[in-house]
Amino acid sequence: MRLLEVHLPNDERYDTVIRAVKAADPIDYYVQDTERKDRKLISVFMREGSGQSLIDNIQTALDTCEDFRITVLPVEATAPNIEEATDQKADKRVQATREEIYSDVSTGARLDRDFIIMVVLSTIVAAIGLNSDGIAAVIGAMVIAPLLGPVLGFSMGAALGDFKLLKRASITLGSGIAIALVCAWLLSFVLQIDLQSRELMSRAEVRLDGLALAMAAGGAAALSLTRGQASALVGVMVAAALLPPGAALGLFVGAGHWTLALRAGLLLSLNVVALVLAALIVFRLRKIRPRAWIDQKNADRAVWINAGLSILLLAAATALILWLDLGAEVSVG
């Protein structure tokens, strides 16, 4: 359930907002006077996932007003019990509001000191785990890697046509990958690179099943976000597609194994594109779009550009994978 609080001027727009609240068929609502006589506070109690249209209608009614605030609060419990939504309504109520999703994604796409420290620490753990063939260490590194936020931020920015978020997420994701590469490269001068490590060498194997894993991880991450559910475990899947290949690339470059580095770099690039494309598709299918039609036009353009480039890159990379596999089979034969 969600509690929507609308703080707005007490003028003719208040009547429009009240009509929108009543039309939304909320569980309950009430109006409070504030310390300022010219202000009203409307609290609306709604089922989870059913507040997006109401928020959009309220913002439309208050488009010419700069002095209002809508706050979305989660409700842990209430008494007496509320009847469950019918099956027909349930399908429409499985999604968090666009504003909640944007807030989560925007926070996760922030490049700050904590993000940098977590990338450095997770890369150190991943590089040591890869080189020592320690799968537990690799999994631990994926748990603490903060790479889910910028991936979803990039896809969300494209879905909404929000170029500010798109730019910030791109910088954060690029910086995170660059920091991981530099850390792994520095570690390669300390560690004795073990080419017998299965965990390390598997990150130099570019195969179509790895591409499918990245697509599934990106789609699952975006779906869990739109459903308003915890995405920590899904974040591990996203990190699995990015952190180990990035750490392996840095180790191979530092050790001078250029062929292996090329394969690890290709795997990393493919996974980035697959993650972003899958998340973008899920956001589109879940109708995560801007409210205003002018912003919708920008969003459509951003979606088609990003999707087109991603598909072209995936097609080219897939052809390269098949060519490499064919070459390997011919040499073995």
130-175 pLDDT per residue, tens: 999 888 888 888 878 888 888 888 888 888 878 888 889 989 999 9
Helix (H, G, I), strand (E, B) or coil at 144: helix
Average pLDDT over the chain reads 80
Q: What is the pLDDT of residue 49?
A: 65
Return the closest-CA partner of residue 20 out of 32, 8, 33: 8
Q: What is the pLDDT of residue 328?
A: 46
Quickly list H helices, the chain.
12-23, 52-61, 87-90, 98-108, 113-131, 135-144, 148-160, 163-187, 198-202, 208-226, 232-255, 258-285, 293-332
* pLDDT: which is higher, 94 or 300: 300
Q: What is the pLDDT of residue 234?
A: 62
Buried residues in 200-219 as b, exposed as e (16+ CB within 10 A):
bbbbbebeeebbebbbbbbb
Q: What is the pLDDT of residue 185?
A: 94
Residues 255-302 pLDDT 10s:
999 888 888 888 888 888 888 888 888 888 887 777 654 456 666 666
* pLDDT: which is higher, 99 or 40: 40
pLDDT bin (cut points 50, 70, 90) of residue 251 is very high
Q: What is the pLDDT of residue 2?
A: 82
Yes or no: say if 70 and 25 are a contact pair by the CB < 8 Å rule: no
pLDDT at residue 93 tops 70: no
The CA-based dihedral angle spanning residues 275, 281, 282, 288, taken in that order and rounded to the nearest 10 degrees: 120
Exposed / middle / buried, residue 18 (Cβ in 10 Å: 0-12, 13-18, 19+): middle
* pLDDT: which is higher, 82 or 86: 82
pLDDT at residue 124 tops 90: yes
pLDDT bin (cut points 50, 70, 90) of residue 233 is low
